[in-house]
């Protein structure tokens, strides 16, 4: 965990939820992994007639096999679940089930509260509300997870048996509309069942008291027998990117030794996992050799350029890292995370001629993703370097809202109000922040 916190691209945000005694969750951000998950989710959202723009998937850094829907149109996937999948169709089955809860209106009680607060103070409110209002998805997709927030989940979130079965039915329908086999969902259920049998010492009480997993498996088995779609019809591109996503997650989340033992072959996914493993071991020449090999094979791949940039940056080679990010940005101009990474390096180089550009990228990124705490943080630094202290205080106010530090946010709002020019357009934003803070405080 600690190691990941220092990584630039896999930005980990610690979120402490409202209720006391709940352990903090850490979310993982990674441009490539997010793109892959979004690609697999899109056909299911279309099938469910949900606007992808109003929907978001968050990745939680947690080894347990779990997923849940919360706070309106949000799905949370544990990295442990993603790593456990061996085929994109399995992940799609899980996501389809969670979309089933959203489409079925099982989360509406939270909607009112959360939709108004677009950033929700942010994830803390989302997850805090999910915990207290009770809408977690344990029964469907839980395994013997003993870490993370599973205790909270067991005690506080549950859907009814009827809701679970309706989410399963909806999932089967979405998969069918998306021309996907239900086999992956069946396989995931089986993985969960086996785990609960094998590790009875850690078995989730919720699973014990709601033994209808058997019944749910049989519904899905039935669907598999009658479907016209085969798992083997999955597009090769999905299979390849899914495999690559697992390799990257393994590289970042497993110990380097384990990664190097698992990934020995010459194929690109193995190179990718090894590049990350060597990087984590601070073996720069070896990491660079692997990533250069990847770039030789796929020179137009934005995420290989980004990874090379990350490796160089984290070894303190900022000037070498910058062109890598610039290349990645050229290939994925809309991506906010890549822009934040690039701007961070531009500011780190301390070359005045790059400051304006860095600020521009950070403004783009925070506009697109207002919950990007890294984006706001570096924007405040950029403004500070330009001597725009009122603007820097404004960016720090946003940063603190995202991190749920509301008193500090208010302090920065007041500072900014004193420092900003009377005509500054940021004044209106300060009013927005105050309203948002008021709203979040009332929710608590």
Q: How far is the CB of 78 from Zn ion (least distance, A)?
A: 14
By CB under 5 A, is residue 347 in contact with Zn ion? no
Q: How many residues does the chain have?
A: 444
Can you tell me the distance from the alpha carbon of 60 to that of 187, in angstroms, rounded to the nearest whole number?
A: 22
Written as six digits, the tokens of 256 are 């380097």
Which H helix or E strand runs over 194?
Answer: helix 183-198
Number of shown-chain residues binding Zn ion (CB under 5 A): 4
Q: With respect to Zn ion, which residue has the nearer C-beta, 129 or 324?
A: 129
350 backbone φψ class: left, alpha, beta (φ>0; ψ -120 to 50)? left
Q: With respect to Zn ion, which residue has the nearer C-beta, 97 or 361?
A: 97
Q: How far is the CB of 439 from Zn ion (least distance, A)?
A: 29
- For the chain, report the end-to-end CA distance as a whole number of angstroms: 29
By CB under 5 A, is residue 104 in contact with Zn ion? no
Which H helix or E strand runs over 153?
Answer: helix 150-156
DSSP assignment letter at 67: E
What SS3 state is found at 11?
strand
Q: With respect to Zn ion, which residue has the nearer C-beta, 161 or 261?
A: 161
Q: With respect to Zn ion, which residue has the nearer C-beta, 156 or 381?
A: 156
Pick the stretch among 8-16, 103-111, 129-137, 258-266 that binds Zn ion (CB under 5 A).
129-137
- CB count within 10 Å of CB 9 equals 26
By CB under 5 A, is residue 93 in contact with Zn ion? no
Q: With respect to Zn ion, which residue has the nearer C-beta, 164 or 250?
A: 164
Contacts (CB under 5 A) with Zn ion, residues 149-178: 164, 167
By CB under 5 A, is residue 137 in contact with Zn ion? yes
By CB under 5 A, is residue 140 in contact with Zn ion? yes
Q: How far is the CB of 163 from Zn ion (least distance, A)?
A: 7
Pick the stretch among 75-83, 140-148, 321-329, 366-374 that binds Zn ion (CB under 5 A).
140-148
- CB count within 10 Å of CB 418 equals 9
Q: With respect to Zn ion, which residue has the nearer C-beta, 140 or 256?
A: 140
Q: How many Cα neighbours within 13 Å face the side chain of 232?
A: 0
Q: How far is the CB of 345 from Zn ion (least distance, A)?
A: 42
Sites of contact with Zn ion (CB under 5 A)? 137, 140, 164, 167
């Amino acid at each position: 965990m600690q190691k990941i916190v220092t990584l630039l691209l896999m930005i980990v945000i610690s979120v402490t939820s409202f209720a006391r005694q709940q352990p903090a969750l850490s979310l993982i951000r990674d441009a490539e992994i997010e793109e892959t998950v979004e690609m697999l989710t899109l056909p299911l959202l279309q099938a469910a007639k949900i606007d992808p723009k109003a929907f978001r998937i968050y990745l939680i850094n947690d080894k347990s096999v779990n997923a849940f829907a919360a706070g309106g149109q949000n799905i949370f996937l544990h990295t442990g679940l993603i790593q456990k999948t061996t085929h994109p169709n399995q992940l799609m089955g899980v996501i389809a089930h969670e979309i089933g809860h959203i489409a079925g209106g099982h989360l509406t009680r939270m909607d009112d509260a959360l939709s108004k607060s677009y950033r929700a103070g942010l994830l803390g409110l989302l997850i805090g509300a999910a915990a207290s209002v009770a809408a977690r998805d344990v029964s469907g997709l839980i395994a013997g997870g003993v870490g993370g927030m599973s205790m909270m989940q067991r005690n506080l979130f549950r859907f009814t048996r009827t809701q679970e079965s309706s989410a399963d039915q909806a999932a089967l329908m979405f998969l069918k509309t998306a021309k996907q086999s239900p086999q992956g969902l069946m396989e995931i259920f089986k993985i969960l069942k086996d785990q609960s049998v094998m590790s009875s010492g850690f078995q989730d009480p919720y699973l014990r008291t709601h033994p209808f997993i058997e019944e749910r498996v049989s519904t899905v088995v039935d669907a598999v027998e009658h479907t016209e779609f085969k798992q083997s019809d999955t597009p090769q591109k999905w299979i390849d990117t899914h495999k690559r996503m697992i390799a990257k997650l393994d590289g970042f989340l497993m110990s380097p030794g384990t990664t190097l033992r698992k990934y020995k072959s010459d194929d690109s996914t193995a190179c990718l996992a090894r590049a990350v493993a060597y990087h984590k071991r601070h073996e720069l020449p070896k990491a660079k050799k692997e990533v250069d090999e990847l770039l030789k094979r796929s020179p137009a791949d934005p995420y290989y350029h980004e990874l090379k940039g990350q490796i160089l940056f984290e070894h303190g080679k900022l000037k070498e890292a910058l062109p890598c990010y610039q290349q990645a940005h050229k290939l994925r101009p809309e991506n906010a995370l890549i822009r934040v990474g690039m701007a961070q390096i531009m500011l780190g180089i301390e070359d005045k001629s790059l400051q304006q550009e860095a600020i521009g990228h950070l403004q783009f990124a925070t506009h697109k993703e207002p919950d990007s705490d890294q984006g706001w943080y570096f924007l405040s630094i950029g403004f500070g370097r330009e001597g725009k202290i009122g603007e820097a205080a404004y960016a720090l106010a946003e940063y603190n809202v995202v991190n749920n530090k509301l008193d500090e946010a208010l302090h920065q709002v007041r500072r900014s109000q004193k420092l900003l020019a009377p005509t500054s357009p940021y004044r209106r934003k300060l009013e927005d922040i105050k309203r948002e803070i008021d709203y979040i405080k009332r929710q608590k």
